[in-house]
Structure 1
Amino acid sequence: MALIVNLLSLLFSTFIVHSNQITMSLRSFKISENITYDCIDIYKQPGLNHHFLKTHKIQMKPSVSRPEFKMQTGKNETSNKNKIGCPNGTVPILRNTKKFVTNSQIFAESHFHPLSADSPGTHIAGVRSNGGPFRGVQASLSANALNVGNDQISYSQIYIGSGSGNQVSYISVGWMINPGLFGDQRVWTFGFWKGKDGKGCYNTACSGFVQVSKKIPIVEPNVLKPGVPGWFHLSIHQDRNTGNWWITQIMKDAPNEDIGYWPKELFNLLDNGANMVGAGGVVQASRSGSSPPMGNGQFPNGGRLDSGIFTNIEVLNSNYEQRKMNSFPIDNLVDSEKCYGLRIGTVKRFYRTHLGFFFNYGGPGGNSCGV
C-alpha cells in the first residue's frame, strides 16, 4: 500500500529545472495560463544556489517580529489573493521561463535607484533620507491599474541602500507594471537587490533571495479594476542577530507574514545598516520618448486619495527604534514636474484614518517629460 501511495505521489509531482539543477516540485498552483508556482523543498530552493551562499544556513523567521503599526487600509486589499498554500517544508517559487530569466537580467541592468547616476528616460517622484545608519523602512502604498506600453515601466517602491565610490548595495520592494518583463498589464509585487558582485536581480529569477513563507511568494500578480486602488503594506528590515535583510507583508486583521530575506553574505555595504532610505514612484519611458503614467495617473492636486499615495512611512534607526520618516532630514525628489508631481502630507488623520507621515505623487506622463 505504501508503495502505491509513493507512486501516486510521484505521478502528481513535477520536476523543475533551476540554475542547471533538477528540483522536484511536491505541488503546483496554476494561477493563470502562463503563471505557475511550484512548491519546492525549502532547503533545495534556487535562491540557495548563489556562490556566496555555499555555507549559508537558512533562517526560518526573524529574530524579532516586526511591530505592527496603524496603517491606511483600502477596501481592496491585495494580500495573497491567489490563495497559494504549499505543504510544510516547501515554499512557492514562480516557474520561470528562459525568456523571463533573460528579460530579468536585461531589466536589472537598468533598474533605477537614487544612488545611481541619472538614467535617460527614467523619472521619479518621492522622498529620500540620507545619513543613518538605518535598519529598516516600511510603508503602506496604493497600487493602480495603468495603461503601460510594452516598452515602458511604471513602479512604486520602498528602498534601502548604501553607496561607496562606484559600489552600491541596494534593496527595494513594491509593485510594478512591466509588460516587457512579465508579459502582461497586471500589477506585480516585486523585490530587487544589488550586492557586492555588482549585479542586480529581480525576485527569484536568479539565486540570492531565500523564500520562507509557504503562502506568499515574493513575486505575485494582482488584477485591479481601473480606478479602484489596491493596497500593499510592506517592510524591509535588517535582522538584529543575523544581519539578513527581511521582507515582511504587514497584514490586515492577521499576523504579519515574513516572506523571506536576502542573506547578509550578498552585500558588502549593508553590514551595519544602510545610509539611505526612501519611497516613491519610478517610470521608464519607451524608446520613442513617451513616458507612462505614475501612481494612479493623476497629479497630486486633489484629495488625499485622489492620486497615488504612500502612508505610514516609518524607518528603523540605528538602535532599531521605529520613527516616522520625517523625524530625519528628507529630500523631495521630482525630476519632471511637467508630467509628475509630489505633495508631502501635512495632517495626521484623514476621515478617521491614521496616515502617519505620507505623501501623494504621480501623474499622467506623456511625450514632453524630458530625459
Structure 2
Amino acid sequence: MLLSNFMITRVKEMVIFLVLLYIASSSAVVVGKQSNPFPGEELQVEAKLRLLNKPFVKSIQSEDGDIIDCVDLYKQPALDHPLLKNHSIRISPSFDPTNGDSSTPLILNYSLPFSQVWRRSGSCPDGTIPIRRVLKHHLLNASSLERYGKKNTNVITKRDFRMLEHTFAVGIENYHTAAALITAGYSYIGAKADINVWNPRVEADDEYSTAQIWLRNGPFNNSDSIEFGWIVNPSVYGDRQTRLFIYWTNDSGKSTGCFDLLCPGFVQVNKDILLGGTIYPTSAFHGQQYHISLEVVRDFDQNVWWLISSTDNIMIGYWPCDIFSYLYNIAVIVEWGGDVYSPRMHQEPHTATAMGSSNFASDHWSFACFIHQPRIKDYSMTYKYPYPSFPFTPDVNCYSGENYAETLFTEPLFYFGGPGRNLYCP
C-alpha cells in the first residue's frame, strides 16, 4: 500500500532524527602528526608493529609502494578477538548469493568494475589472505599508537542530545559531514550498490573522504556500525590514493572496531582482494567511469554478516555476529553516499577536502560521483529499492546530494559530492 503524503513526511522526519543520532554517536576525530619518535616511543612503535604484522608465507612488493603479506588463513588477526578464540572459519555462505536478487543488471554505459594495483606484482597462494603491511611511518602519521586504524569518538553531552533537533542546519558535530541517501525504520538484513570510484582531493593528513554504504543499529552514542566502500585516508595509509576499505564498531568507536584488518574482528577468506588496497583506475571527468559493486548480507545459519564483491559474487569475508550487540540480527538504518572528516569542518576557512569527484551532485553523469542501484534486503529475502528513502545533505554549500533520473519513470542515480571550500563555503 502506498504511503500517504502525511506518513511520508513523518517517516522522513523520523529518518532525519535517527540519522542525526547515529552520526553523532559514530562521529570520529583522526588527528595526524608528522614527527620523529622520541626514544621511549621508538620501542612502543616496534612493539605495535610486531602486534599488527602477522608472520607471512609470502611477501609482495606492489608498484604503488605497499608491501602485501600473504598470511595463513588460520593465523589472521580476526582470530585474536577474545570472542573468536574457538571460531571455525566459514569458507562460503549457507545461501546462494544470487538467490532472491531482484535488481537489474548494470545498465550504465562505460562504467567498468574495479581492479587493484597489487595484483600486477603477484598473488597470494591458496590457504592465505593478503594483508597490507603496516610500516613505521604509518604509525608516526597517526594521532596515537593506541588509536591507529580506529576512529576517535566525540562525546556528546545530555545538553547536546536535547539540542539535536535544533542543530540540523549546521550539523550536529564539528568533524564530519555526509551527503547520503538514507532509509530507516524497518528490519534490514542486507544492502548493496554500485559505487562510482574517484580520487578526491584530501587537503590535510588528518582528514579523509569516503564513498560508502553504512548499516547501523543500536542506541544513541553506543551503536553498532558496518561500513564499506572506498576511501582516501592519509592518516591510516600514508598517502592519498583511493583504496578499498571496511570499518566496524560495536560502541560507536569508543573502544572497539577499526579500518580493514587493523584489529581483530573481520574474518577474511578471499586471497585475491586486499582490504586497504589501492583501486585502479579511477573515473575521469567526461570520460571513462569505474565502480565497485559491494554487498553485505546476514547469514542466519552461520550467524555472520558476509561481505561480497557482487560483480562476480566473490566472498571477501565476514563479520561474526558475536562481535556485535545490536547488529547481531538486523540493521535499522542503511545509508549510501559520501562522508568527509576534518577537524576544520565548520571553521573558517572551511576544509578544501573534497567529497566524491569534487563536483556537486547537480553536475550529474561523468562529473559527479554516483550510487547506482542502491538495494536493501528484508525478511522477504529479496533485494528492493529502498522505499521510503531521502537525501541527507546538511552542508549544501560545501557538499550536496541529489536523486536524479535522466528519463522519466526510470530509477534515479543518487549523485553526491562537492569541493568543500568554495565561494559559498568559506
Cα 1:106/1:39, change in 2 over 3 Å:
closer
- Kept in 1, the 8 Å contact 2:226–2:249? The answer is yes
CA distance in 2, matches of 1:297, 1:360: 12
Q: What's 1:259 paired with?
A: 316
2:227 maps to 1:172: yes
Q: What's 2:79 paired with?
A: 48
Greater Cα shift, 47-56 or 59-68 = 59-68
Match of 1:190 among 227, 231, 245: 245
Q: What's 1:231 paired with?
A: 291
CA distance in 1, matches of 2:72, 2:355: 38
Cα 1:369/1:277, change in 2 over 3 Å:
farther
Cα 1:176/1:23, change in 2 over 3 Å:
closer
Structure 1, unpaired ranges of 5+: 1-15
- Kept in 1, the 8 Å contact 2:115–2:281? The answer is no
**What is the letter of the counterpart of residue 85 of structure 1?**
S
2:73 maps to 1:39: no
Q: Secondary structure at the match of 1:301?
A: helix
Q: Secondary structure at the match of 1:47?
A: helix
Deviation at 1:144, TM superposition (A): 1.1
CA distance in 2, matches of 1:111, 1:307: 30
CA distance in 2, matches of 1:19, 1:136: 36
CA distance in 2, matches of 1:180, 1:173: 18
1:1-371 mapped onto 2 (5 Å cutoff)? 20=51, 23-32=54-63, 34-67=65-98, 69=103, 70-71=105-106, 72=108, 74-83=110-119, 85-97=123-135, 100=138, 103=142, 105-106=147-148, 108-110=150-152, 118-149=172-203, 150-195=205-250, 198-224=255-281, 227=285, 229-251=289-311, 255-287=312-344, 289-325=350-386, 328-346=387-405, 356-366=411-421
Q: Secondary structure at the match of 1:43?
A: helix
Deviation at 1:75, TM superposition (A): 4.7
Report the TM-score, using the length of structure 2 for normalisation: 0.73
- Kept in 1, the 8 Å contact 2:230–2:242? The answer is yes
Deviation at 1:249, TM superposition (A): 0.9
CA distance in 2, matches of 1:277, 1:308: 19
Greater Cα shift, 32-41 or 79-88 = 79-88
CA distance in 1, matches of 2:370, 2:217: 25
Greater Cα shift, 130-139 or 216-225 = 216-225
Report the TM-score, using the length of structure 1 for normalisation: 0.83
Cα 1:33/1:65, change in 2 over 3 Å:
same
Q: Percent identity?
A: 26
CA distance in 2, matches of 1:200, 1:286: 21
Cα RMSD, aligned residues only: 3.0
Greater Cα shift, 61-70 or 209-218 = 61-70
CA distance in 1, matches of 2:111, 2:62: 23
Greater Cα shift, 16-25 or 257-266 = 16-25
Deviation at 1:101, TM superposition (A): 5.7
Deviation at 1:177, TM superposition (A): 0.9
Deviation at 1:174, TM superposition (A): 0.5
Structure 2, unpaired ranges of 5+: 1-46, 155-160, 165-171
CA distance in 2, matches of 1:263, 1:144: 31
Greater Cα shift, 186-195 or 293-302 = 293-302
Number of residues paired by the alignment? 344
Deviation at 1:163, TM superposition (A): 1.6
**What is the letter of the counterpart of residue 86 of structure 2?**
T
- Kept in 2, the 8 Å contact 1:236–1:247? The answer is yes
Cα 1:267/1:368, change in 2 over 3 Å:
farther
Cα 1:24/1:301, change in 2 over 3 Å:
closer
Per-residue CA deviation, residues 30-79 of structure 1 (Å, 9 max, x unaligned), is 11364111111101111211112112111111111322651247455323
CA distance in 1, matches of 2:80, 2:136: 17
- Kept in 1, the 8 Å contact 2:63–2:117? The answer is no
**What is the letter of the counterpart of residue 360 of structure 1?**
Y
CA distance in 2, matches of 1:223, 1:57: 34
- Per residue, is there more helix in 1 or in 2? 2
CA distance in 2, matches of 1:56, 1:101: 30
Greater Cα shift, 54-63 or 360-369 = 360-369
CA distance in 2, matches of 1:217, 1:59: 18
Q: Secondary structure at the match of 2:322?
A: helix
- Kept in 2, the 8 Å contact 1:291–1:369? The answer is no
CA distance in 2, matches of 1:43, 1:20: 16
Cα 1:168/1:22, change in 2 over 3 Å:
closer
Greater Cα shift, 315-324 or 171-180 = 315-324
- Kept in 2, the 8 Å contact 1:29–1:36? The answer is yes
CA distance in 2, matches of 1:20, 1:304: 45
Q: Secondary structure at the match of 2:79?
A: helix
CA distance in 2, matches of 1:229, 1:212: 29
Deviation at 1:324, TM superposition (A): 1.1
**What is the letter of the counterpart of residue 401 of structure 2?**
L
- Per residue, is there more strand in 1 or in 2? 1
CA distance in 2, matches of 1:147, 1:259: 28
Deviation at 1:270, TM superposition (A): 1.4
